[in-house]
Structure 1
Amino acid sequence: MKGFISRISTLLLIASSALLVGCQTTAPKRDLAAYEAANPRSIVVVPIVNKSLDVDAPNYVLSALPVPIAEKGYYVFPVNTTKMVLEQEGFYEPERVHEQPPETIAKMFGADAVLFVTINQWDAQYIILSTTVTVDFEYRLVSKTGEELWKNTQRMQYSPNNSNGGLIGMLVSAAIARAAPNYMPLTIQANSMALRTGQNALLDGPYLKEKLPQQK
């Protein structure tokens, strides 16, 4: 009996150590001279390359991108309209869009810069008494003349915590998270960290409220 209790305690300890929200970034490639020369005011976000197994992942990520970009001070072309225009031009696969010269895409919309996003990971893994939900994105901003202005990656994890319900509660929470993982909060947080608030965030755009002159 003592051995069984000891094993359960060990499992609970391991599980509780996994109930963390984590994020990881890598230093972006910044070329301030190129950025200042490009002076981007508008950004077109093209369809997302998806390296995960979830076919719906790009739609979730794409829907969460315009807000943090706009809050950073840029005009963002409507993502649904962008997708429709590209498809009318024969670009149905995101991989093919990402292979096109950024100059071509920018000219198509009259945009100052193009944002390419890749989903590297989007999954939920069951570990002992916990399910860990993970998202991993890569961002790359290129000017209308082809210069890379900014690059960043963002990886975030979350494990739902229901330790108040004891062992059964933890098992139920893990099972629910595994069956129907909620990716949107992580996606919104990852985009915000990478684009708007993180130490490696996108540089401020011309329409940032703090930059606008105060009305007298």
Structure 2
Amino acid sequence: MKLVQSAIRAAFTAVIVSALAACAPMNQGPHADYSAFRAASPHSILVVPVINESVDVDAPDFFLSTIARPIAERGYYVFPVNLTKKVMSDDGLSDANMVHGSDPTALGKMFGADAIMYIRIKRWDSKYVVLKTITTVELDYSLKSGTTGEELWKSHQVLKYSPQAQSTGFLVGDLISAAITAAVEKAKPDYIPLARQANLRAVDLQGTGLPAGPYDKAYGTDTAAY
């Protein structure tokens, strides 16, 4: 039974992530001001421990497992996030709020990083509302220069997922199915697909995402899109 439920949840998760991608093309969005970013021209990005404002204490560790790849795929060198976290902890910077409050240039010198990525988890929760469960991930991103401390780029992402039970054609059966589906999602929500999609929208969306980095073939040629 648990295996079947897991398979159903995985299928619904795949469908909603695909739907989100289809509804929010990566080539649309208002054009941000990239003058500071272009002037800094970062090659390497250090992702520091995230601030967690959600009620889920495990959210930061789960989220950190999703962030390095999309940034690297934009053409930047990303310092290994787990190693970064350990080094900071060994240096007395184990508290995320302390890290975010410290001077970005100090972190830049410590790691030799061109830019520092700060991320704040605003929401990471799953709520039951009238026979359905809504899982939400809300994130703030801010990239600052490791040389001057100036903010180079920022993004805010909110993604929601609500699994839909398959219709049986019978009211009572549909209500029971909806209740079971909602209960399964509430008991063990899968935040990872939502976090990955949020990251993808943040860094890839033309006009608001990250311009191609030096290790991407589009580097320096995508000024019209970014």
Q: What is the aligned counterpart of 2:128 among 116, 126, 129?
A: 126
For residues 156-208 of structure 1, the C-alpha deviation after alignment (integer angstroms, 9 at most, x for no partner) is 00100113352211110000111111111111111111112365211221111
Structure 1: gaps spanning 5 or more residues: 1-18
Structure 1 residues 168 and 174, CA gap change in structure 2 (3 angstroms): same
Q: TM-score, normalised by structure 1?
A: 0.82
Given the alignment of the two structures, is residue 204 of structure 1 paired with residue 194 of structure 2, yes or no?
no
Q: What is the aligned counterpart of 2:83 among 81, 84, 90?
A: 81
Given the alignment of the two structures, is residue 169 of structure 1 paired with residue 172 of structure 2, yes or no?
no
Distance in 2, matches of 1:97 and 1:29, equals 30
Alignment check: 8 A CA contact 1:44 1:111 kept: yes
Q: What is the aligned counterpart of 2:202 among 149, 171, 194?
A: 194
Q: Which residue of 1 aligns with 2:187?
A: 179
Structure 2: gaps spanning 5 or more residues: 1-15, 169-173, 221-226
Distance in 2, matches of 1:50 and 1:82, equals 18
Given the alignment of the two structures, is residue 150 of structure 1 paired with residue 150 of structure 2, yes or no?
no
User: In the alignment, residue 201 of structure 1 is paired with which amino acid?
Assistant: G
Query: How does 1:92-131 map onto structure 2 within 5 Å?
Result: 92-131=94-133
Structure 1 residues 120 and 198, CA gap change in structure 2 (3 angstroms): farther
Q: Percent identity?
A: 45
Q: TM-score, normalised by structure 2?
A: 0.79
SS at match of 1:64: helix
SS at match of 1:84: helix
SS at match of 2:153: strand
SS at match of 1:132: strand
Distance in 2, matches of 1:100 and 1:31, equals 25
Distance in 1, matches of 2:30 and 2:124, equals 21
Distance in 2, matches of 1:186 and 1:135, equals 7
Structure possessing the higher radius of gyration over alpha carbons? 1
Q: Which residue of 2 aligns with 1:10?
A: none
SS at match of 1:156: strand
Alignment check: 8 A CA contact 2:138 2:158 kept: yes
Q: Which residue of 1 aligns with 2:56?
A: 54
Alignment check: 8 A CA contact 1:68 1:192 kept: yes
User: In the alignment, residue 187 of structure 1 is paired with which amino acid?
Assistant: A
SS at match of 2:167: helix
User: In the alignment, residue 72 of structure 1 is paired with which amino acid?
Assistant: R
Distance in 1, matches of 2:85 and 2:209, equals 25
Deviation at 1:30, TM superposition (A): 4.5
Q: Which residue of 2 aligns with 1:16?
A: none
Distance in 2, matches of 1:69 and 1:93, equals 24
Structure 1 residues 204 and 78, CA gap change in structure 2 (3 angstroms): same
